[in-house]
Every structure is written in C-alpha cells, then in structure tokens.
Amino acid sequence: MALVDVTETDFEREVIDRSRSTPVVVDFWASWCGPCRQLGPLLEQAAAAREGQVVLAKVDTDANPRLAQTFQIRGIPAVKAFLDGRVVDEFVGVKSRDEVESFFDGLSPSEADVLVARGGEDDLRRALELEPGRADASVALARTLIARGERDQALALLDPIHGSFQADGLLARLRLEQDGLLGDAFAALDRAELQRALDLLLEAITVENGRRDDIRQVIIGELDLLGAEHPLAGETRRRLASVLY
C-alpha cells in the first residue's frame, strides 16, 4: 500500500510502527490549503512510483489537531519522513517535482540495499560491484567464505573495511585461526552454539594473554551481530568487562 489516510487513532500503527520496516512520508495538509493541493499529487506520484518501498501517509491537520500540535506543525503543507520510528527528514511548503523525487530517493532502498537484504552470495557480490567496500555486504560475504574455508578471499574482502565491529571481529578470528587457536570456540560459533562459543572465548582471554585484543574483537563483533536486545548481549558484555578490567 503506497498511500494511506492516517488519524490520531491509528498514527502510531500506520506511521511509527510501519516505519520500522518501511520508510513513511507523512503529508500534513488541509482541504482549504491551496499549496497542499499543489504538492499532494507530486507526493502521491512519487510514492506510487516506488511500488511500496516508501509509504505516503496523509494527515488532515484540521481533523487531527493533536497530531499537528505534537509535531509542531506551524505551516502547511508540512512533510516529514519517518524511519525506525523517528523523523529523519522534513520540509515545509511546495517543492518542485525534482525536489520531491530527490526527497523520496533519499529514503528508498538502493539496488545494493535490496541485494544485501536478500543475502545470497551472488546478491552480495553484485552489491559490492555497485558499492565497492560496503561493510555489511563485505562482512556477510566474508562469513560465507570463511564457512567454506576460503580464508584468503575473506581476508581480502575485510582488510580494507574500517569502522565495522563485525569486520574487525572476523579479521581477528582469521588471525587466531591461522595460529591454530580457539578452534573449539569457532566451531561452536559455526554451529550457532552461541552460549558455548562465547563462554570459550571469555575463558580464553584469561589464558591467551598475548591475544587478548584479538579475542576481545571477536567477541565484540559477534555481539554486534546479535544486536543489543539479544538475551546474551548484556550478560556477555558485563562478563567481558569484568575479565578485561
């Protein structure tokens, strides 16, 4: 659904919750507003052209004054883009067709985004052709290569990546494996035995004193993959801190 009329009753569901999976552009408008009637069709055409990749929500400010107050609407048309439950971009007033298209383009997933979300090996390779050095694609493909034993190829993918906990963790894993260390822990990771793998890694920090930083990076990388909400994340971070400090 590319277009939906939203009220105070369903704004949370139709905009905030929906934006956690799909960008939502909210058009605050009113029937008496001439500029709103001018901008509205451009917004609707832009949303329709993206075939559900961006949803347009229409909010009549006269019928929904509390929403207008909550989002501090001082003039209309006012357009706000929501992603992950929060406003990520906005503008007020009439824009040209090109400006509207550019606004939507900033929210629509790129071809590489779509390929990474699919996650197949061919998809990831194509994503890296489109955006060389893209961290999420490089990390995902490197994991596939490591599972196949193609460590040199994984190293070549990961080595140029900076600012990624997961890339740093995989590079540390490759270094440790090259030295014949922590095979049981990595085998447990590959079998998705997360608790056992993390236990073995944490134990190893107190034994392999010369490789503490590599082991730490492996753990941090795996926690980043799990996400902060995973049940193991908070406990493991506390245990890691107690071992290190």
Q: Please name the residues in contact with 209: beta carbons below 8 A apart, sequence gap of 6 or more.
A: none
Highest mean pLDDT among 55-59, 203-207, 232-236: 55-59
| Whole-prediction pTM | 0.68
Query: Same domain, yes or no, for 93 and 123?
Result: no
Question: Which residues participate in catalysis according to the annotation?
Answer: 33, 36
Instruction: Read off the CATH number of the domain in which 78 is found.
Output: 3.40.30.10
Query: Same domain, yes or no, for 86 and 201?
Result: no
Read off the pLDDT of residues 37-69 as tens digits, 9 standing for 90 and up: 999 999 999 999 988 889 999 999 999 999 999
What is the gyration radius of the CA atoms in the chain, in angstroms? 24
Query: Same domain, yes or no, for 151 and 195?
Result: yes
State the pLDDT confidence band at 207, using cuts at 50, 70 and 90.
Answer: confident
Helix boundaries (H) for the chain: 11, 34-49, 65-70, 97-105, 111-118, 121-130, 135-147, 151-158, 165-178, 183-190, 194-207, 212-226, 231-244
Residue 235 structural domain:
111-244
Strand pairing category for 55-60 and 24-29: parallel
Q: How many domains does the chain have?
A: 2
Mean pLDDT of 126-138: 95
